[in-house]
Amino acid sequence: MPDETRYGFGKNWEKYLAQVNDDRKRIARDSIVDFIGLADLRGKTFIDIGCGSGLFSLAAHDLGAEKIISFDYDPFSVQCCEHLHDEAGKPGHWCVSQGSVLDDAMLQKLGRFDVVYSWGVLHHTGEMWQAIKNAADRVAPGGLFYISIYNKKKGVRGSKYWARRKKLYCNSPEWVKRVTEGLHYAYYFQSRLLRGRNPIKTMKNYRSKRGMDWYRDLCDWLGGYPYEYATVQEIFDYMHQLDRKFVLENLSSGDGLGTNSFLFRCVEGEAVQPAQ
């Protein structure tokens, strides 16, 4: 897919770095440990596929991971992650680089990891199913695979509609993008007021969601192209057909256009235990 039809996630997250404070870092750490069910990552190896702002690679570092690999296709995202790496004191056990999850040869050189983390990334590659397969193959036996994938939603304003809208946004001049963002901001504000909700309070409290920023996430949503999606069942079916065996450990899902989050454990070489 030509680069000109890709959304510049990294440029968006460069603007977010100034807002990364201790509170956001804590929330990011909590979002990882709460979902994977571990108090920390001490003694674990961790790979952040599509590291974006680098906030969750930093979280893995703060949680005591003994080895961290962070990479992203977008060079500006790599710069964001490098910035947080530098702020952390340039730890030698944390490596940041540019790369693609679709580059299987590169991935195989990296080895396998106790925790493979790729939140909201694999559906932006243009080859989602191959990206899931490649990422899953980086999970060590007994390791965890934590991913989030956009939900497939039918209807007039469903997933297919948004795929067209996102592509149009990415191919638009900058002034059109700003107008589009303003219109969506106004729509969000008005819709919350009509429902008797305080939109300003919602936006201020948004950092409670993984430590991220409401406006940066809005821009990511409008421009996040390539854009693919799948139902929860489609993800289950695909994971079950892989050569390596995975069982579901945790799931967070909804019926809207947002992401479904999955935590699989690789049971290759061990007795299969049912999810709790």
Statement to judge: residues 40 and 11 lie in one domain: yes
Backbone phi and psi for residue 174, each to the nearest 5 degrees, phi listed first: -60, -40
Domain count, the chain: 2
Tell me the average pLDDT across 1-25.
73
Lowest mean pLDDT among 37-46, 197-206, 216-225: 197-206
d(C-alpha 130, C-alpha 145), whole Å = 15
* Residue 172: domain span: 159-223
What percentage of the chain exceeds 70 in pLDDT? Answer: 91
CATH number for the domain harbouring residue 38? 3.40.50.150
Residue 208 structure tokens: 């409670």
Statement to judge: residues 110 and 200 lie in one domain: no
The model's pLDDT over 176-211, given as tens digits with 9 standing for 90+, comes to: 988 988 888 787 778 778 888 777 776 766 655 566
**What is the average pLDDT score of the chain?**
89
Statement to judge: residues 131 and 233 lie in one domain: yes
d(C-alpha 15, C-alpha 6), whole Å = 18
The model's pLDDT over 45-85, given as tens digits with 9 standing for 90+, comes to: 999 999 998 999 999 999 999 999 999 999 999 999 999 99
Is 79 inside a domain boundary?
yes
Statement to judge: residues 114 and 63 lie in one domain: yes
Read off the pTM.
0.89
